Each structure stands twice: as structure tokens, then as C-alpha cells.
Amino acid sequence: MNTLNIQQIDDYDSLLMKTVAKQRSNWAIDDWVLGIHSIYGDRNTPKSPMEMWLHVANDTSQLSEEVRKGNLEVVVQDAAKIFGRVCVLVGKYLYQKEFPENDPIKTLLRNRDAGDDFIGGRESYGKWILEKYPMRCGTCWETVCVCSAYRPIMENRDEYIELYDEVTKGREQKIMEIKKSSIMLMVSQVRLRKNFFLCHWTN
Ligand SMILES: [Zn+2]
């Protein structure tokens, strides 16, 4: 394979060991990404993101068909499968060590520099979800989503900029406020974790 040598994640092995040592029932979303990548990563190394995303799109359309038919048991299985496929794709772009020359993403995601992240730190699936939904809808920015109540405005928000701001009751202002409060929350969580570890180490 024509590869480009890129080694960005130098602590991959220790990350994986920490994940494997955890109870599976305590795995966070990022543990699943790492765990599933450790199984399927090698096999998916030569695959393009388009090929992998096609599986997600295909399974998602099957899932919506099963929802329409009301086959809820199949829906649960399909949803788990889609989650696994997305984890594989994310894991590829967070941990894979070499990429074919023509891969369009390579290390862009793991070195993503959005500049205005809420929570900072290493790029991960869990981080992206929290960035997009910090306990609020990513579009209307309400804690209880109101998008469907204003569907024409939400779907054409580039056209109705003033109406969009009106129905979301000052979305940009809220984003600024939440950014400030999430920095405070982050500081308090770091303190909590530090206290937790200190307790365990000293006992
Ligand atoms: Zn919404």
C-alpha cells in the first residue's frame, strides 16, 4: 500500500489498556471507539471514508424502514450496529497510524483546531457530541427542543436570520452565556476529580 507515515497517537497502547481494564458496563462512548477500533482497525486501514460511510447510510435507511414497520426489536439491533460502524469510522481517524496517499481525511480530525471549543482537550467522539449538544439542542439551543414548532424558520434559517434569532430567544447570546458557564463547570469537575483521586490514593 502506498502509505504516508503518520504517528500522532503515541500513547495508544496505554489508552487501550486503561479501557480494557474498565468494566464494560462502565465504558464511555470514547472507550467503545477505542475498543472497536482495536478489533476492526487493521482490517479497515485500506478502506476509504466513503466506503465506510456508505455502510452507515445503508444501515440507517434500513433502520428507518424498521421503525416505520414498528419492528422494535430489530430497531434496537440495527441501532447498535450503526453505533458500532460510526465508532469504527471515528476510531480510524483518531488512531490509525498510516493512511493511503489518496485518503481525504488522514489526521485532519485528530488535529482539528476549531478554536472555539467548549471543553478543549484531545479530539474524541464524546467531545464532539458534548460540543454539539451541551445538554441543549444544537440548532435552537433550547434545553427542550422547539425546532419542530418553527420548522419553516429552522429549515431556512439562513434566509430568516432575524426570525431565527427571535424564535430561539437570542441563540447567540445564550451560546456566549453557556460558554462562560461551561468553563466554570469544567474547572469544578477538574477539582472534583482531583479530590476523588486524592481520596483513593490516600486510602
Ligand atoms: Zn431544537
6 CA → ligand 1 middle, Å = 39
- Which residues are bridge partners to 99 per DSSP? 4
Would you say 88 and 45 are in contact if contact means Cβ atoms under 8 Å apart? Answer: no
pLDDT digits (tens, 9 = 90+) for 148-166: 888 999 899 899 988 888 8
At 9, the pLDDT band (50, 70, 90 cuts) reads low
Phi, psi (degrees; rounded to nearest 5) at 99: -130, 145
25 CA → ligand 1 middle, Å = 30
Which residues sit with Cβ closer than 5 angstroms to ligand 1, an ion?
137, 139-140, 145, 147
pTM listed for this prediction: 0.73
Residue 3 has pLDDT above 90, yes or no: no
182 CA → ligand 1 middle, Å = 20
Give the mean pLDDT of the chain.
84
134 CA → ligand 1 middle, Å = 12
